[in-house]
Amino acid sequence: MVLGTMEQDHIKEVKWMVQKVLNAHDIKKPPPFYLSLIIGEHLVHNCMVDNGASSTVMPKAIAEKLGLQYEPTEKSVLQLDGTATNTIGVIRNLE
């Protein structure tokens, strides 16, 4: 996803606020938290935010509802339990 300067600044501010709360409560590993996001003209509720993720997973049904196009791929995602899950594609430049 490509973000503009304003979005990047907003994300930094949100991360700073979350870190401030975590530090105040001496929390070492933050739990996941959820936000509502606007993607295009669609409001999507309960999006899990993971500051440490190297990639983001989106259900196929959501991608189709939003009319997003994806490039087919043969990549897989390694789960926490060590199993691999195949992906159907990659969405680039999501704004």
Could you report the per-residue pLDDT of 8-28, keeping only the tens digit for each?
A: 676 677 777 777 777 776 766
Q: Is the pTM of this model over 0.85?
A: no
The more confidently predicted of residues 6 and 37 is 37
Residues 91 and 57: their CA atoms lie apart, in Å, by 10
Predicted local confidence at residue 49, as pLDDT: 73
For 47, the 3-state DSSP assignment is strand
Contact call for residues 34 and 24 (beta carbons, < 8 A)? no
